[in-house]
Structure 1
Amino acid sequence: MESPRVGSILNLHPISGRRHRVHRYGRPRRARSLPPPNRMFRRPPRPMPFLLPIQLQLPDTWRLWKPAVVHCPAVKSPPRWRPCPNYGPGENKFRLCDTRSLDDKFPFPLKGYCRWEIESMPDQLLAQIITDWRRTPALSFRPDTRNVISRITPNLVAKWGPNVCQAEADIMWIIESKWRVKTHVPIVHKILRDEVTGYLIIIMDYIHGSNLIDIWHHISPARQHKLTTDIVELIRTMQTNTARYPGPVGMNRMRALAHESHVAPVCMSGKDYDGYMNTMLNITNCRRPHSLRVQGFVRTHLGKFVLANMKLDPSSFIVDNKGNIWIVGWGNGGFYPPESELAVAEHLMPSRFNPLKWEILLKIPHNWPQRQYLRAIAAMVDGDPQEKRGSGFSRLANYLPEKKKM
């Protein structure tokens, strides 16, 4: 039997025979239902980003900032909301946080621009970028006040919402001149107003750290004592700055210890402040039973008015990466009596922060009866005139005399 010739059709070699058939007859035609030959080796398609990059054109009349196009990078992931419960004096409120805002590598819309360039942008364009919560992740959103804190760059945030007022930015600007306090309050860089919603937007520094209400029960007792000492010392430092008249700075109405149905007057004196507080105290007594009514009058005009935040709850303190304390949320800030600051802090702090509350009330000198009257007003303004929450003066009354005797 003759061996098959090499290169002929009778060649049984698998490679050389296939080459001969392909060279002579061409490649066989494939059925349409069969996949292409390299489909199983093809790379999978890249996932489409959540939002494509955009370029926002500046107005033609704007000649102070170049280039004339603001580039916002693409966003790969959608918002991922995380609820933060146990918030507020009754521990029944919560806030929302977009976890994308905690990632420093997130493509923020204004990440590649410096502070001077951001401050030079038109207000209309800047407000359009900040209010887009899909591109600008929300660091904090409170459903009760509808205020949003959005992170626009790795080092800047923007606070905006219906409850943001000019007085908050004014008191933070005043604090920048107080050299012992300015290192504990974020710096304000720009204020603008959104033409679409009418909300005020405050651009300030971002503090790289954690909220005190989130880390308090995850740290050691020694660390808690250290933070408590720092907070008390910071409040003492704030109260070294005094003013002649009470209330917020500028032509703004008082928002702390003020009821919606009884608007506080503008530019009050010490006597006007006491008169308004006594009016609020009478309203508080009218909403209480006779056994719980407060017997006394508010008299603070003879004292001094100190720098106060007027909303010192655990969520107002930020602990940065170096362990320093920062105070945020100055919407109710201004110059008030020391008793007003402590009364609001006593009312707002939950019962699980009683050690911090006790140290603040014991270490900072103040008038005890006046603080009791102002705390009753704070409970009435907050919608709890009879103080059914049960954590506050009723528990501290048995503790403070023992400390005083010691």
Structure 2
Amino acid sequence: MDSSGSDGRPRSDYAPSSIDHLTDAQLVQAIVQGRKTYRGRRIAFGDHNICRVDETTVAKYSGCPEDYITQPSEALTLDLVFRCTTIPVPRVRRVVNETEGRSTLTWIVMDYIPGRQLSVVWPTMSVEERLCVVFTLRDYVRQLRGIRHPRAAVPGPVSSGNDALRCTSPVFGKVIEQRGPFASYAELSAWFDHAQRVVTRNLNAKKHPQPVSFDAMMGTSSLVLCHQDLNMRNIIVGDDGRLWLVDWAWAGFYPPWFEYIAMKEQSENEETVTGRNEPFWDLMIPFICGTFYREEEWMNRSVNDALDYRFESTP
């Protein structure tokens, strides 16, 4: 994905950027120089794959597979959210490749967002300010679920093509986070049912009740765009007063309850990373994402014991 037109000039719906005049080769050199110039100047906690290009621009390393390396899913998702919602997200300026020996590094070049991570600001916020954050995030989730896109019929990351891509989600487990690819909702459903069979076959079936199928529990709900990494470190309280969402690497089209379970998983991870419990934040997750208690119970009872097993995506 590229924010410039076919003639190389910046898109008309984007404000001018400091890197618009650079060719791709010059931009790669600017990234290399930026890594030296800004060495030691942290952007935020957990920014190991991000570097400053200049005072207004950053570059993020994309780990996309080579088969869609020219249009990384995260860049496509950011552009989709920017065009279809009012959610503040960094604007993607360009995607460029840097060659290092036999390897190719793909960089998503985007705007730098001045502000502080919510994880830093949250402890100093009043109850009213925290509730304002919660209501804002609830609106953001609703906007994401309202996006209509041709890829919405295919579980997984946003892509410019028709091929199904491997899904990455905290819902799949902590040891093996990638599953699929799934070409349809039916294939995703079949995978979860297969996971249940692994449980009953390999893990002392006497402890597990008669399996309930994925479709019987979840129905055939449509897939919606999920961020899947809504933790306080990926929410920026901007200097402009707005709440920005960053790090869309795990985003994709999934059942709506994925966002709920993913947010709970990421909250647990956040507590481990920061060493701080946030019970009010945990309490607000169902309000932000919707209540999916049945789905959560089903996952905990029927599937979670099998998620770390290496079994095939289809029965």
> Higher helix share goes to which structure?
2
Instruction: Judge conservation of contact 2:18–2:56 (CA < 8 Å) in 1.
Output: no
Q: Which residue of 2 aligns with 1:3?
A: none
Q: Which residue of 2 aligns with 1:159?
A: 60
1:370 aligns with 2:295: yes
Q: Which residue of 2 aligns with 1:298?
A: 214
Structure 1's 141 and 318: CA in aligned 2 closer, same or farther, altered over 3 A? Answer: closer
Q: Which residue of 1 aligns with 2:183?
A: 268
1:224-249 deviations in whole A, cap 9, x for unaligned? 12211211222122212243332112
1:228 aligns with 2:134: yes
Query: Could you say what secondary structure the match of 1:115 adopts?
Result: coil
1:74-105 deviations in whole A, cap 9, x for unaligned? xxxxxxxxxxxxxxxxxxxxxxxxxxxxxxxx
Pairing partner for 2:285 from 360, 365, 378: 360
1:326 aligns with 2:244: yes
Instruction: Judge conservation of contact 1:248–1:334 (CA < 8 Å) in 2.
Output: yes
Q: Distance in 1 between matches of 2:36 and 2:192?
A: 41
Q: Distance in 2 between matches of 1:288 and 1:232?
A: 40
1:197-217 deviations in whole A, cap 9, x for unaligned? 532211111111110111111
Q: Distance in 2 between matches of 1:246 and 1:217?
A: 36
Q: Distance in 2 between matches of 1:379 and 1:231?
A: 31
Q: RMSD of the TM alignment (CA)?
A: 3.6
1:308 aligns with 2:226: yes
Query: Could you say what secondary structure the match of 2:180 adopts?
Result: coil
- Give the residue type in structure 2 aligned to 1:324: R
Q: Which residue of 1 aligns with 2:80?
A: 174
1:330 to partner: Cα distance: 0.8
Structure 1's 277 and 169: CA in aligned 2 closer, same or farther, altered over 3 A? Answer: farther
Q: Which residue of 1 aligns with 2:274?
A: none
1:349 aligns with 2:267: yes
1:292 to partner: Cα distance: 7.6
Q: Distance in 2 between matches of 1:233 and 1:149?
A: 28
1:135 to partner: Cα distance: 4.8
Q: Distance in 2 between matches of 1:140 and 1:380?
A: 35
Instruction: Judge conservation of contact 1:159–1:201 (CA < 8 Å) in 2.
Output: yes
Q: Distance in 1 between matches of 2:300 and 2:229?
A: 12
1:211 aligns with 2:129: no
Q: Which residue of 2 aligns with 1:101?
A: none
Which structure 1 segments of 5+ residues have no match?
1-63, 65-112, 384-406
Instruction: Judge conservation of contact 1:310–1:344 (CA < 8 Å) in 2.
Output: yes
Q: Distance in 1 between matches of 2:42 and 2:198?
A: 38
Q: Distance in 1 between matches of 2:266 and 2:305?
A: 9
TM-score (norm 1): 0.56
Pairing partner for 1:246 from 142, 155, 176: 155
Structure 1's 295 and 179: CA in aligned 2 closer, same or farther, altered over 3 A? Answer: same
Structure 1's 155 and 124: CA in aligned 2 closer, same or farther, altered over 3 A? Answer: closer
Instruction: Judge conservation of contact 1:157–1:204 (CA < 8 Å) in 2.
Output: yes
Query: Sequence identity of aligned pairs in percent?
Result: 17
The number of residue pairs the alignment matches comes to: 268
Structure 1's 238 and 267: CA in aligned 2 closer, same or farther, altered over 3 A? Answer: same
Which structure 2 segments of 5+ residues have no match?
1-7, 9-16, 272-276, 310-315
TM-score (norm 2): 0.70
- Give the residue type in structure 2 aligned to 1:201: W
Structure 1's 137 and 311: CA in aligned 2 closer, same or farther, altered over 3 A? Answer: same
Q: Which residue of 2 aligns with 1:114?
A: 18
Query: Could you say what secondary structure the match of 1:233 adopts?
Result: helix
Query: Could you say what secondary structure the match of 1:176 adopts?
Result: helix
Q: Which structure has the bigger radius of gyration? A: 1
Query: Could you say what secondary structure the match of 1:349 adopts?
Result: helix
